[in-house]
Amino acid sequence: MIMWAPAVMVEGARAVSNLAELCGRLQPYFARAEPLEQAGKYITASMSDLPRKNGWTIAKHVGDATPDRTQRLLNHTVWDHDAAMRVVRGYMAEHLGDQPLVVAALDESGQEKPGAATAGVARQYWGARTGSPTG
């Protein structure tokens, strides 16, 4: 196990360097430094091995007392989302090069609510789900 430590340290240093470079490329799309800093924290938490990634676990992971800063970033901060996505996509393509790529598409489609007896239950969003409720 100890022989893996140098490799982990190198990968950790590379991740920090890559994050700094990516944030530098994203800087023009943020009007202020504080939201960009919070975006860097959010990216760090998103790439982490946190078993559950929600507002509170992300806040704790990045050293914020509450999830308010990340929520403000995601819900209220003015920034060019489309341009930022293009930067991230280009950055990833540049750094992946000719490496084999596996892509997973996730569809947040909620949970099925098949019962008709529960008050307020309506048909729930299922995205691209097909088939019967049991399979």
Q: For residue 107, is pLDDT > 60?
A: no
Grouping H, G, I as helix, E, B as strand and the rest as coil, residue 30 is strand
Which distant-in-sequence residues (6+ apart) come within 8 Å of 80 by Cβ?
29
- What is the residue range of 72's domain? 2-96
Domain for residue 90, yes or no? Answer: yes
pTM of the prediction?
0.60
Domain for residue 32, yes or no? Answer: yes
State residue 7's pLDDT score.
Answer: 41
Instruction: Output the average pLDDT for the chain.
Output: 74
State residue 8's pLDDT score.
Answer: 40
Describe the chain by its helix, strand, coil percentages, rounded to 5: 55, 0, 45
Domain for residue 60, yes or no? Answer: yes
Domain for residue 88, yes or no? Answer: yes
How many structural domains compose the chain? 1
Domain for residue 61, yes or no? Answer: yes
d(CA 41, CA 99): 27
Domain for residue 131, yes or no? Answer: no
Which distant-in-sequence residues (6+ apart) come within 8 Å of 91 by Cβ?
21, 22, 25
Domain for residue 6, yes or no? Answer: yes
Residue type, 29: Y
Domain for residue 91, yes or no? Answer: yes
